[in-house]
Amino acid sequence: MKKFNYFTAAGLALASLAVGASLAIAETTSVSPSSVSSPENKTPATPAMMITINQNSKGRIAGTVASVSASTLSVNSWGGVWVVDISNAKLVRRYGGTASISEFQKGDGVVVSGTVSGSGFAVTATEVQNTSIQTRNVNPSGTVSNVTSDGFTLTAKSATYSVIVGSNTTINLNGKKTTAADITNGVKVQVWGVLDRTQSIITATRVNISIPRVYYSGTASGVSAAGFILTTAAGKTYAVTLGANAVVKINDTTGSLSAVPEGAKASVSGLANGDSGVTANAVSVRIPRVKPTTTTTNTNTGGGTTGGSPNGQQ
């Protein structure tokens, strides 16, 4: 019966590909870890299509993921699409690190180990290795764009990635813990996480945001409750927006922008917002104090000289 299972399972795949049988043998090479040259190497780790089955119906199948569900993978390999039961399988990444099914994507390369069914293209897996995903200890830095509620695009030195940010992602701004609200278009970041090389997707475990601190002084205009335009002596303009905990001081007394007149002299410190914006945490405004004027009134109504006694008496 064991031999029957062996020939049934093996024949099912190879008989349907009689023309391509020699190609199957040629394609049984594996992908070497040395093919990865750097964290930003996004050349897909395309797996060889491979099927090996022994007399005990134990086998290995290499191919690409066609679809993913919580307990099943569909894998394109020799003979067609193989249905892989992963209910009790160990899921690992390219170099053996523990993986989760949420990291698997359509198109990923996989190597499946398990028991091959004698009646169809099916495998009950004991282990599934995803050769497309791997954890990097040193991860890319770059510029953020296309920010969404669950991630962003990272343009690094030599590659572009889609970065997934979740509830378990740690986010730091200039070394202090913050929230995803501070990940905005144009900021510089470094990302740690799980890299899917085939899909160029990073599932982030940590994102470090680096925003330069700036200080500008000049003249305020277009003042509103939320901010104003600052024009420096050199003619450069910056759009100043008050941060959540910004402090506004007018002549060294805490106040609000509603008391700032057009043309007032102002100094701003905070975080750069692109090349022409500032998210301010401190605003200092100098408004010249107006000195009160005094008026002298002549109260002599007698028309005579002053300084003598009444009625001219001495």
pLDDT tens, the chain, 314 aa long: 433 343 344 444 444 433 333 233 334 333 333 333 333 333 445 567 888 989 889 999 999 999 999 999 999 998 899 999 999 999 999 889 899 998 899 999 999 999 998 778 999 999 999 999 887 665 899 999 999 999 999 999 889 999 999 999 999 999 999 999 999 988 999 999 988 887 889 999 999 999 999 999 999 999 999 999 999 999 999 999 998 889 999 999 999 999 999 999 999 999 998 889 999 999 999 988 766 666 666 655 555 555 555 555 55
- Identify whether the C-beta of residue 266 lies closer than 8 Å to the C-beta of residue 283: yes
Which domains does the chain carry? 2-132 (2.40.50.140), 137-210 (2.40.50.140), 213-286 (2.40.50)
Give the C-alpha separation, 5 to 27, whole Å.
24
- pLDDT at residue 303 in the model: 54
Give the C-alpha separation, 128 to 131, whole Å.
9
Give the C-alpha separation, 184 to 273, whole Å.
9
Query: Among residues 170, 211, 213, which one has the least CA distance to residue 191?
Result: 170
Cβ neighbors of 216 (< 8 A, separation 6 or more) are 230, 232, 238, 267, 268, 278
- pLDDT at residue 110 in the model: 96
Give the C-alpha separation, 299 to 235, whole Å.
54
Give the C-alpha separation, 39 to 17, whole Å.
38
User: Please, which residues bridge with residue 247 across strands?
Assistant: 282
Using only C-alpha atoms, what is the Rg of the chain? 36
C-alpha distance from residue 274 to each of 72, 154, 214, 278 (Å)? 46, 16, 11, 8
C-alpha distance from residue 230 to each of 50, 89, 143, 285 (Å)? 65, 61, 26, 11
- pLDDT at residue 158 in the model: 83
C-alpha distance from residue 22 to each of 15, 18, 110, 111, 135 (Å)? 12, 8, 22, 20, 36
Residue 77 burial (CB < 10 Å; 0-12/13-18/19+)?
buried
